Structure 1
Amino acid sequence: MDTEMRDPNRLTAWAHGGGCGCKIAPAVLQRLLAQVPPHLAPPELLVGTATSDDAAVYRLRDDLALVATTDFFTPVVDDPYDFGAIAATNALSDVYAMGGQPLLALALVGMPINQLPESVIGRVLEGGAAACRDAGVALAGGHSIDTVEPIYGLAVIGTVHPQRVKTNAGARPGDVLVLGKPLGVGILSAALKKGRLDTDGYQQMRRWTTLLNRAGAALGELPGVHAMTDVTGFGLAGHLLEMCRPAGLRACVDSTALPVLEVSRALLAQGIATGASGRNWASYGDAVDLSALAPDARALWQSLITDPQTSGGLLVACAPDTLAAVQEAFTAAQGQPGWVIGRLEAVAPGEPPQVRVQP
C-alpha cells in the first residue's frame, strides 16, 4: 500500500509485522550469527553471545557489573502512546531478566517523518518516557532517523552484582519453572491488525504488555533462582529451549497449568495467529514433544507455546525450596505470584534437550 494512503491513526497499518512478532526467526538468526567471526572476549565480559541471553554483562569491579541491552520494534498497537509504553517496557525487561536494575535509557526512533503527523510521533515518545519514569529510569537522549516503517525502542544500561547475574545457562535438574505473565499476546496483536480485537481484549493486551517485570531485580537476590529469561518473540517453547540447551535439560510443561488469556483462545479457534508462530515452530519444533497430548489438542498448544509474546513475562527456574520466595517477589512487584508451569529434569546420555508438554 502507498504510504500516502495509510491512516495515521492506525500505526499497525504502517508495518509488515508488529512487536516481538517481527523478530528474525530463531533458525535464521542462528545462521546469520554463525557468519560472525569469533572474537577474544575480555575476562570482564561475564555474559556475551554464547548463551543467547537477554543482555550483555560487563564486570566493572568485584561488587559491580554493567548490564547493557537494546530492543526495538514496529507498532504492535495503533495508539501511539501505548506503542511507546509497550516498546519501552519490553526493552527494560531485558535488564530485569538478568537480575539487574535498569538505570539509564536512550531512545531509538525511526519514523516516516513526512507521512505521520508530528503529534502522533510525539505521543510515541511520550509513552516511552512514561514507562521509563514509572521504572525510575532516566531517559537521557537517543537517536532518530527517517524510516519507511515506524520503529521505537530503547538502549538500556543497568547494574547488577557480578555474583547475582541470572542467565539462561544456570538451570538445574529438579528446578521448578515459574512464568510471570499469561500467554496469548501475539494472537491478540494479530487480531488487532485484522480489526477483530474488541475493547476488553485490547485492555487485557495493554495491561500485560505495559506491566514492568520489575520483580527481576528482587529475584536476582535469591541464590535459589538458578536461571531467568523473559518470554518474547521466540515464544515460551523457544525461550525454554534457550534455558534447557546450555544445561542439558528437558522442560516438562504442564499444559493445564499454563496461563493463557481466554480471549486469545477464542481468537485462535477462529484461525487467528501470527506468522511468527509458524516461523518459530519451523525453527525449533523438532525439539518440542507434544505426543502426550490428545491429537485434537496438539494444534492448540503448538500455537500457544510458539506465540510471540511482546513484553512477555519472566521465566524463572528455581530450586523447589525457593519457590515461596519467588512467588513473594512476583506478588510484591505485580500483585500476583506468577504461575508454576512445570519442572526441569536431566536427559539421558545422548538425548538432546527438549520441551515436553504434558496433559
Structure 2
Amino acid sequence: MTDDTLTPQTIRLTDYAHGGGCACKIPAGELEDAVAELIGPASPDVLVGLEDGDDAAAVRVADGLAVLSTADFFTPVVDSAYDWGAIAAANALSDVYAMGGRPVVAINLVGWPRGVLPMELMTEVLRGGLDVGARAGCPVIGGHTIDDPEPKYGMAVTGVADPDRLLRNDAAAAGLPITLTKPIGVGLLNNRHKRTGEVFEQAIASMTTLNRDAADAALTAGARAATDVTGFGLLGHLYKMCRASGVGAVVDASAVPVLDGVREALRDGFVSGGTHRNLDWVRPHLEVGPGVTDDDLLLLADAQTSGGLLVVGEVPGYPVIGHTVAGGTRLTIR
C-alpha cells in the first residue's frame, strides 16, 4: 500500500532513485563491450546504426527522407514530478535534434512503484512530458508502463530528417571550431539537490530548454557533425565523436560555459559516481596542459542530463570551446 504519511508535497522523488538522470547510464566502456558482438552487417538503407554510438538510428525510407528512432529514460533527477517529466522529455527529444532531425511522435516509457508513490505524482510526470512535447510540436501518444520498485520516465521518439543533412558522430573534419550550445554543470547541481534539497532553477531551465533552435542554427551554418552532451559528459561525448571521425580535439577549459553555482558544488564535493567513471574512461586519451587540475577535468566529465549540442563547426550565437585537429584521436585540454 502507498504510505499514507506521504503527500505529493512532502515526497522527495530523488530519495527513491539510486542515482540521478543520465548519471545512471551504464559506463561507456562497459556498454561498448556488451554490444560489441551485436554489431553486424546492416541493410544498405541503415544510414546510422550501432557502430559509432550515435544519438539515434537513421534509416532511409524514401528519396530525401530518413526516419530517426531513439529512446531515453532515467530515474528522478529533481524532486518536482512535473519538472522531472519535462526534463526527461527534453532529453529524449534531444537525440533527434542532435541528428539534425525533427521529432514527429513520441510515446511514454514509465516505471512506477505503484504501491509506494501516489499515482497522482505519475500524472504530473506525464504532464511535464506532454507539455514539452507540445512545445516541440511533437505529439506524445500513449506509451508503456510497468510496476517498478524505482521510478523511471522517458520517451521513445521517432523523427524525420534529410538523409543528406544528418548531423553525425563520424562526420567531423579536422581544422574546425567546436561549439557548445548549453553551459555544463547540471550533474553537479543535481547531485547537490539530491543530497541537500536545494533547488537550482538555472539547472532546471537549462535541462528543459529544447535543442531545436541550436540544431537549426547548426544546420544553417553548414555543420555535418554533432552530438548532445549527456551522461558521458563533455569529454566522453567529444571523445566518442573524435574516435568515430578519426580526428583529435583541443579544448580550452576556460572557454567552456558553466552554470552559476557549479564551481561551488564541485568545491564542496558533489561529484557523482557517473562523473568519476566518465573521467576514468576517457583519461587514457587525454593530454592535459599545465595548470589544468583534476577538478577542471571532473567538471568537463560531469555527467549531464539534457545537455547542449557539441557541434563541429562555428554556430553563430554560441561559444566556441576549442577546435578539431588531424593526427590521432586524443583530446588536449589546456
Alignment of 1:315-354 (within 5 A): 315-318=310-313, 323=314, 326-327=315-316, 337-347=317-327, 352-354=328-330
* Amino acid corresponding to residue 261 of structure 1 in structure 2: L
- Equivalent in the alignment of 2:281: 283
CA offsets 1:325-348 (integer angstroms, 9 cap, x no match): x21xxxxxxxxx22110100101x
1:131 match: 132
Code of the residue aligned with 1:340 in structure 2: it is V
Q: 2:264 aligns with which of 248, 263, 266?
A: 266
User: Secondary structure of the residue that 2:304 maps to in structure 1?
Assistant: coil
Cα distance, 1:6 vs structure 2: 8.0
Whichever residue aligns with residue 345 of structure 1, its letter is V
Q: CA deviation at 1:129?
A: 0.4
Any unmatched runs of 5+ in structure 1? 328-336
Q: Structure 1: which amino acid aligns with 2:150?
A: E
**What code does the residue aligned with 2:127 have?**
E
Q: CA shift at 1:67, angstroms?
A: 0.7
**Is the 1:187–1:273 contact (alpha carbons within 8 Å) kept by the matching residues of 2?**
yes
Query: Which of 12, 15, 18 is the matching residue for 2:17?
Result: 15
Structure 2: runs of 5+ lacking an equivalent: none
Alpha-carbon deviation of 1:140? 1.3
Aligned residues: 330
**CA distance in structure 1 between the aligned counterparts of 2:44 and 2:298, rounded to whole angstroms:** 41
Is the contact made by 2:47 and 2:60 (CA closer than 8 Å) also made in structure 1?
Answer: yes
How big is each residue's C-alpha offset from its partner over 1:97-133, in whole Å with a ceiling of 9 and x where there is no partner?
0000011000001100111111111100100101101
Answer whether contact 2:165 2:224 (CA < 8 A) is retained. no
Note the C-alpha offset of 1:196: 5.6
- Separation of aligned partners in 1, 2:111 and 2:43: 33
Aligned to 1:301: 296
Q: Note the C-alpha offset of 1:223.
A: 6.8
1:94 corresponds in structure 2 to 95
Counterpart check, 1:357 vs 2:333: yes
Match of 2:255 in 1: 257
- Once the two structures are superposed, what CA deviation does each residue of 1:118-158 show, in whole Å capped at 9, x if it has no partner? 11111001001011011010111100000011000000011
| Farther-moved stretch of structure 1 (247-256 vs 100-109) | 247-256
Q: Displacement of 1:270 after TM fit?
A: 1.1
Amino acid corresponding to residue 25 of structure 2 in structure 1: K
Structure 2 residue aligned with 1:179: 180
Equivalent residue number for residue 168 of structure 2: 167
**2:295 aligned partner, one-letter code:** L
TM-score of the superposed pair, with normalisation by structure 1: 0.89
Q: Which amino acid aligns with 1:155?
A: A
**Preserved CA contact (<8 Å) 1:238 1:280:** yes
Which deviations, in whole Å up to 9, do the C-alpha atoms of 1:70-114 show, x marking residues without a partner?
000000000000000000000000000000001100000110011
Whole-angstrom distance in 1 between the partners of 2:84 and 2:258: 22
* Matched residue SS, 2:126: helix
CA distance in 2, matches of 1:70, 1:6: 32
Deviation at 1:61, TM superposition (A): 1.0
| Contact 2:20-2:190 at 8 Å conserved across structures | yes
Counterpart AA for 2:19: G
1:310 counterpart residue number: 305
Give percent identity, aligned residues only. 44
How far 1:217 moved relative to its partner? Answer: 4.4
**Residues 169-221 of structure 1: CA deviation (Å, up to 9, x unaligned):** 11111111000000100000110111163x4xx10111100000002542464
Contact 1:100–1:216 (CA under 8 A) maintained in structure 2: no
Matches within 5 A, 1:50-61: 50-61=51-62
1: CA distance between counterparts of 2:71 and 2:329?
A: 28
Normalising by structure 2, report the TM-score.
0.95
What is the DSSP-based 3-state SS (H/G/I as helix, E as strand, rest coil) of the residue aligned with 2:325?
Answer: strand
- Distance in 2, matches of 1:177 and 1:6, equals 47
| CA deviation profile, 1:218-268 (whole Å, cap 9, x unmatched) | 246447302011000000000001111122211101111110113010111
